[in-house]
Structure 1
Amino acid sequence: MTIRHWAKQHRLRLAWTGLACLVAYFLTPVLILAFMLDQRVLSPSHSEATHEQWRHVVTTNEGRGVALRRYSNGLNGKCVIFFPGQQGGMARYERDLLPLIRVDGVALYTISYPGQDGAPGQGSLNHLSEDVERTLRFLTDDGLCTMGQSLFVGRSLGASIAVLEAAKFRPKGVLVEGVSPDLATAIRAWMRRHIATWAWQSLPIRALVPMTGELEPPVSRWQGPPMIVFQGTDDNVAPFDAAKALMLNRPGVRFEAVPGGNHEDTFLIAGPAYRAALLDLSDR
């Protein structure tokens, strides 16, 4: 074999190796989004000990369950119902967020999705709305909450769920934080944060993921209860500009920018303003 022939063969092998690596690089996210998205978005979590007054699991026929916790009693069916983010962590919320949304004379309930904080099963994006809706109907059918006298509070993934369910159940008001217009936007934001996944943004993300949490349709024709949105300007999970474009100047929606807030601490930075917004909705 001549040196020239060997070099040609070597270049050919390198080209094929490079092509295989490129295919594998872009095939990896496609497979994850197509077959592993539920586990990535609704990853099972085990909480620290929680300190609720009452706990109940609303189950489905497929073995999934949504865990309800009550932290205070209410009068006349008045409730605050909290929808958490994708990772759960109710013990942390007990310390940091629930004190901001406790209201005298109003029952405080939290929801944990399947697989999180003691709720059985594995969460499914395709069934998440169905599971949460079943849980809310349990609260109303058992006379625990009157939706027209109750508030929905949500953050991150829970913000999307709170808005979507509010369009159906018509609570008294909605307070959300860390909003993403849809799941595809949040996935692109995650890809943008890492140099190794930056090029994945060129994939047709919207075609690869379910339309779970898509807020443009209900928000564009919002005729629901008053809604207040807090969004951190430094949020790189639910990008500020995308949330602002979705929510700003919508009838019935008040958009509050939180300077310097990221996806983990916006409600803490907002603090008194966040609580004042909840009390404002409660007093209407």
Structure 2
Amino acid sequence: MKWLSRLQIAVVLYAVIGIAVFYLQDYFLFHPEPLTKSSPYKFEQPFKEMNIPIKEGVNMNVVCFLPASDSSKPASGAVLYFHGNKKNISHYAKYAGYFTSRGFEVWMPDYPGFGKSTGELTEEQLHQFARQTYKLVRARYAADSIFIYGKSLGTGIATRLATESATQTLILETPYYSITSLFSRYLPIYPVSRMIKMKFPTYQYIQQVKAPILILQGTDDGVVPYSNASRLKPLLKAADKFETIEEGSHNDLTTFPAYQAAIDSVLKYKN
């Protein structure tokens, strides 16, 4: 019977796709570009590089981008920048200039397997890297001079850190409700919550953040849909802000005047 044959094919396809997603989920989610420890960084702005041993076999590479202004003057504060899921720090260095030009240091760690950082890429290890970076910055700056910033993948990491560590403001660029909610968008007929290892439940963390929160999300984002990010709106405190960037996509928000105005209002920066 044709219907039985088609059902068998459908069941096999369902199983094959499910197995592929389970075993290849890290491939879909992360796109690292590793570097050797001796690879030189070439940035167009002043920086210092640090390698922090976390434990045996685990090294966290951090780059601190320095203010572009007179180096004899103290920095206005520090931005802890947790980047997205591609390549390494070199890919995101261009975004540091927006903050260094305003007198802030930008501390950017690479995740395990990204750039010069090593170790197993797990959700808890990512949070551990975040805590270690915060400790480095907190040794230099008071909490009210520290801004925690997350972009894309980094928004879940940044939000969790803000539940544990004091900060002036938590800034989230293109955040997701959770990683499982993003996978569910493409795999609605699968039990995604039981299949996906990386959860990053931003919606849970964000309700525990006491510091002010600024969310920036584009309406044309094809990676984290606006509908997904906007699910965080009802969870914000009254004084928090959700900035909608009309026609903004996933990687161009920094070019919009609305983004720049929102960031400058948080940094208390005036031209």
State the TM-score, normalizing by the size of structure 1.
0.78
How many residues align structurally? 257
- Structure-2 residue corresponding to 1:244: 230
1:1-284 aligned at under 5 Å gives the runs 19-29=11-21, 31-32=22-23, 36-46=24-34, 49-51=41-43, 53-72=47-66, 75=74, 78-95=77-94, 97-140=95-138, 143-189=139-185, 191=186, 200-210=187-197, 212-222=199-209, 224-248=210-234, 250-251=236-237, 252-268=239-255, 270=256, 272-283=257-268
Over the residues paired in the alignment, what is the CA RMSD in angstroms?
A: 3.0
Q: Per residue, is there more helix in 1 or in 2?
A: 1
CA distance in structure 2 between the partners assigned to 1:205 and 1:154 by the alignment: 24
Amino acid at match of 2:47: Q
CA distance in structure 1 between the partners assigned to 2:227 and 2:4 by the alignment: 46
Post-superposition shift, 1:49?
4.1
Distance change >3 Å, CA 105–CA 28, structure 1 → 2: closer
CA distance in structure 2 between the partners assigned to 1:15 and 1:245 by the alignment: 36
- Structure-1 residue corresponding to 2:70: none
Contact 1:75 1:107 in 2 (8 A): no
State the TM-score, normalizing by the size of structure 2.
0.81
In structure 1, runs of 5+ residues without a counterpart are 1-7, 192-199
- Structure-2 residue corresponding to 1:4: none
Of residues 80-89 and 210-219 in structure 1, the stretch that sits farther from structure 2 once superposed is 210-219
Moved over 6 A (4+): 10-15
Describe the SS at the equivalent of 1:81: strand
